[in-house]
Amino acid sequence: MILSILGPVTRLIVWALAVIGLPGLFALMAVESFGIPPLPSEVILPFAGFLVASGIFSFPVALVAAVAGGLLGSYAAYAVGRWWRHRVVQVGIGRLRLEPRHLERVERYFARHGESMVGLSRLVPVIRSYISYPAGTANMGPTRFGVYTVLGSVPFTAAFLYAGMILRAHWSEVSSYLRYLDYPLIAAVVFVVVFLALQIAGVLAPGWPPRRAQRSG
């Protein structure tokens, strides 16, 4: 990832997996899914896959440990979002401020599309670590949240473990190639944040495609 990947973070990940083992994998994926501090799953999982190929981990146990750790971290982030749901109201500056109607809009969206939003987001690097916060803020049912978190996490986790098994000693190549995906992903996140901020500020009307809000009076 652009902001942190290789260097000290990678050395920490390698040390935790090599020395602590499966509990280290569980803990790293819990932190990765919580999103703070950001830890790249693109490094954690391929190196764990390398350890599977080396006979240190078994694939099923590594998969369960990684998914279970991710689920724990996701529920922690979900709880933060749910706990802060009323505290985020009126947060902001000037017209750029969250109001109860914005929270209601997020709740309606998650009521209709929460399952697909959570499940698909678990397949996308970066975004997968932060979708839990709005899901909690939107009061998404905890059981539905957990089920679709697991459904989205299993294929993502299995794919990166398998990539590390195939590449073996070249496991770091996964992160070196995937870091180029960060640019469009971060650009997309910035676009969405700006788009929503302009709606909240009253510059753009709600909905898609973007259109200027009509001024009353």
Structure tokens at 90: 């009126």
Q: What are the pLDDT digits (tens) for 35-82?
A: 887 788 888 998 899 899 989 999 999 999 999 999 999 999 999 888
pLDDT band at 25 (very low <50, low <70, confident <90, very high): very high
List beta partners, residue 212: 204
CB 118 within 8 A of CB 135: yes
pLDDT band at 2 (very low <50, low <70, confident <90, very high): very low
pTM of the model as a whole: 0.73
Structure tokens at 152: 């989205």
CB 179 within 8 A of CB 1: yes
Is the bond preceding 125 in cis, omega lying within 30 degrees of 0?
A: no
The C-alpha atoms of residue 75 and residue 130 are separated, in whole angstroms, by 11
Q: What are the pLDDT digits (tens) for 87-124?
A: 665 555 455 556 666 677 777 777 777 788 898 889 88
pLDDT value of position 34: 92
Q: Cβ contacts of residue 113 below 8 Å, gap of 6+?
A: none
Q: Write down the mean pLDDT value for the chain.
A: 79
Domain boundaries, the chain: 8-183
Among candidate residues 178, 143, 144, the one with its CA nearest the CA of residue 159: 178
pLDDT value of position 139: 84
